[in-house]
């Protein structure tokens, strides 16, 4: 076994251990589950005379142990939740809506932790503010974990607020957030309101001005992922930087500059799990290309997940965006070529790449299906058709959004012609969402369970392995 495979198995078994450790809440039961997973995986590989792989089963225990230690360390010890507290802290994240805002506040007393405040929409606070909040401090939930994926261990609802200082955060992040707000303003100057807010969602992940009815329409048509930052956005940023920098710098320097801009983009957009995953994978790919190294998609996906789990192991079990993002990528990489081969979809793209879109949409939807029904209880079949019709236009629409931003640096007037073209694209996409909402008929699955998920993904694994030797070319995907 070469060292590449050894590292991959180390990360994979560690991730399995983190997952196993998160299955139950009680600490003694967690160690029993971890021992069970470790022993069973070791026995499984031993039965097939894979003693080297059986050795890696020890990393199940190490991964689970890290998960337990992480949460023990971060669980508040000196807070009597449910009592009245007066706390002072730094605002690290602001999410503003039409009728309310939420602040993530980093405090140092009585424990070092982050808490989430829910407030009325005005006055509007911003990143870097130092505030004093007074109110009832509640636990984030009975077991701490649903918000622990964001590092949140306590909540306050409508506390009394006193602003103590401005601009005390990380200057670079503060500047990038100002840039984000400026860009959303420029979209409103050259586009109608609905199109401007949708463009802000596509390019920057800003959804604060989405109405409840529009959010429901996105959910009904299975297009919520369009405004959840992902590989689309990161790919546009990286390719644009490489293209522009290529006129003045070498290819290697262009790759490093693209990685730097991806880092800035993640900071500016708030670091959602899907965009962090895409940024990590893009950076690893850029590094491989810059250093002329060969790469394996399997290794890159696993390393990106491993790095995110090291930073916060709770994302593996409790962050829906993390789960959907990685499963969609795996579906695109491993199931899409199988679907193409089974249905004998030819290599040519067809009209607007409809064959590729059918296979890609099906691969991603099949991969995330159990996660969707376990979290939402339903699946909308119409989403398949809507995504086929809308996805070919999204990259070009996003590109127009970035052009509007670029020309607006000089003058909003110069960006108007691009805005007219973008309005046509956005109008078509919004029309599809509005139109097909009337035909959505969600199919409910009230009895989805972990057992169903294990069986489902086990069958997908068997099918993928069966077709792998005949149809799969990893470097292509």
- Convert the pLDDT of each residue in 372-389 to its tens digit: 777 766 677 788 888 888
pLDDT at 330 over 90: no
Average pLDDT for 98-105: 84
Return the higher-pLDDT residue of 261 and 310. Answer: 310
Average pLDDT for 179-189: 90
Cα–Cα distance measured from residue 178 to residue 410, given in angstroms and rounded to the nearest whole number: 17
Average pLDDT for 126-141: 86
Average pLDDT for 329-353: 71
**Contact between residue 145 and residue 136 where contact means Cβ atoms under 8 Å apart:** no
- The dihedrals phi and psi of 160, each to the nearest 5 degrees, come to -75, 135
Average pLDDT for 54-60: 80
pLDDT at 45 over 70: no
**Contact between residue 130 and residue 168 where contact means Cβ atoms under 8 Å apart:** yes
Average pLDDT for 251-270: 81
Average pLDDT for 356-371: 79
Q: Which residues, other chains included, contact 20 with Cβ-Cβ below 8 Å and sequence gap of 6+?
A: 33, 34, 36, 37, 60, 63, 64
For the chain, where do the domains classified as CATH 2.40.50.140 start and end? 84-168
What confidence score (pLDDT) does residue 188 get? 92
> How high is the mean pLDDT of the chain?
80
Return the higher-pLDDT residue of 103 and 1. Answer: 103
pLDDT at 262 over 50: yes
pLDDT at 472 over 60: no
Of 9-23, 144-158, 183-197, 426-440, minimum mean pLDDT range:
144-158
- Percent of the chain's residues with pLDDT above 90: 12
- The dihedrals phi and psi of 52, each to the nearest 5 degrees, come to -65, -45
What confidence score (pLDDT) does residue 232 get? 60
What confidence score (pLDDT) does residue 89 get? 92
Cα–Cα distance measured from residue 118 to residue 95, given in angstroms and rounded to the nearest whole number: 10
Question: Which one of 40-49, 89-98, 133-142, 284-293 scores highest in mean pLDDT?
Answer: 89-98
Residue with tokens 């992922």: 225
pLDDT at 294 over 60: yes
Question: Which one of 118-127, 143-152, 465-474 scores highest in mean pLDDT?
Answer: 118-127
Q: Which of 145, 119, 148 is nearest to 133 (CA)?
A: 119
Average pLDDT for 24-51: 72
pLDDT at 456 over 80: yes
pLDDT tier for residue 340 given thresholds of 50, 70 and 90? confident
**Contact between residue 159 and residue 117 where contact means Cβ atoms under 8 Å apart:** yes
What confidence score (pLDDT) does residue 377 get? 67
pLDDT tier for residue 191 given thresholds of 50, 70 and 90? very high
Report the length, in residues, of the chain. Answer: 477
**Contact between residue 325 and residue 280 where contact means Cβ atoms under 8 Å apart:** no
Tell which CATH classification among 2.60.120.10, 2.40.50.140, 2.40.30.10, 3.40.50.720 matches the domain 84-168.
2.40.50.140
pLDDT at 259 over 50: yes
Question: Tokens at residue 393, please?
Answer: 């236009």
Question: Which one of 62-76, 80-94, 182-196 scores highest in mean pLDDT?
Answer: 182-196
Average pLDDT for 58-64: 87
Cα–Cα distance measured from residue 212 to residue 193, given in angstroms and rounded to the nearest whole number: 15
Cα–Cα distance measured from residue 167 to residue 459, given in angstroms and rounded to the nearest whole number: 53
End-to-end CA distance of the chain: 24
- Percent of the chain's residues with pLDDT above 70: 84
Average pLDDT for 62-85: 84
pLDDT at 317 over 80: yes
In terms of Cβ atoms closer than 10 Å to its own Cβ (0-12, 13-18, 19+), residue 173 is middle
Return the higher-pLDDT residue of 305 and 4. Answer: 305
What confidence score (pLDDT) does residue 198 get? 92
């Amino acid at each position: 076994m070469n060292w590449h495979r050894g590292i991959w198995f180390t990360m994979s078994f560690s991730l399995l251990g983190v997952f196993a450790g998160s299955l139950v809440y009680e600490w003694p039961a967690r160690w029993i589950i971890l021992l069970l997973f470790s022993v069973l995986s070791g026995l499984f590989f031993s039965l097939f005379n894979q003693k080297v792989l059986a050795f890696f089963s020890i990393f199940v225990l190490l991964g689970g142990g890290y998960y337990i230690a992480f949460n023990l360390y971060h669980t508040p010890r000196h807070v009597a939740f449910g009592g009245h507290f007066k706390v002072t802290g730094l605002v690290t994240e602001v999410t503003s809506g039409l009728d309310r805002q939420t602040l993530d506040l980093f405090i140092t007393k009585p424990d070092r932790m982050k808490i989430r405040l829910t407030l009325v929409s005005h006055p509007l606070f911003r990143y870097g503010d130092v505030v004093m909040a007074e109110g009832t401090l509640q636990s984030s939930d009975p077991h701490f974990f649903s918000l622990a994926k964001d590092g949140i261990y306590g909540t306050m609802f409508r506390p009394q607020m006193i602003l103590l200082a401005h601009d005390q955060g990380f200057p670079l992040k503060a500047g990038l957030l100002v840039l984000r707000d400026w860009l959303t303003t420029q979209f409103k100057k050259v586009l109608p309101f609905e199109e401007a807010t949708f463009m802000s969602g596509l390019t920057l992940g800003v959804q604060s001005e989405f109405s409840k009815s529009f959010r429901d329409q996105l959910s009904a048509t299975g297009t919520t992922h369009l405004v959840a930052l992902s590989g689309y956005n990161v790919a546009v940023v990286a390719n644009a930087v490489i293209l522009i920098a290529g006129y003045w710098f070498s290819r290697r320097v262009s790759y490093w500059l693209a990685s730097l801009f991806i880092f800035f983009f993640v900071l500016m957009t708030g670091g959602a799990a899907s965009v962090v995953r895409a940024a990590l994978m893009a950076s690893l790919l850029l590094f491989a290309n810059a250093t002329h190294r060969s790469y394996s998609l399997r290794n890159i996906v696993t390393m990106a997940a491993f790095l995110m789990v090291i930073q916060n192991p709770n994302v593996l079990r409790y962050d829906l965006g993390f789960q959907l993002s990685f499963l969609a990528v795996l579906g695109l990489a491993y199931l899409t070529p199988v679907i193409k081969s089974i249905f004998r979809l030819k290599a040519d793209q067809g009209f607007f790449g409809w064959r590729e879109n059918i296979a890609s949409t099906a691969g991603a939807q099949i991969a995330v299906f159990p996660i969707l029904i376990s979290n939402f209880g339903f699946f909308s079949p119409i989403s398949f058709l809507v995504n086929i019709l809308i996805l070919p236009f999204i990259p070009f629409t996003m590109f127009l959004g970035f052009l509007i931003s670029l020309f607006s640096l000089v003058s909003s007037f110069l960006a108007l012609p691009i805005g007219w073209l973008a309005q046509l694209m956005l109008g078509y996409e919004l029309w599809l969402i509005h139109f097909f909402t009337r035909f959505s008929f969600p199919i409910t699955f009230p009895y989805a369970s972990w057992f169903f998920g294990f069986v489902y993904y086990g069958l997908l694994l068997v099918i993928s392995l069966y077709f792998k030797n005949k149809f799969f070319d990893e470097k292509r995907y």
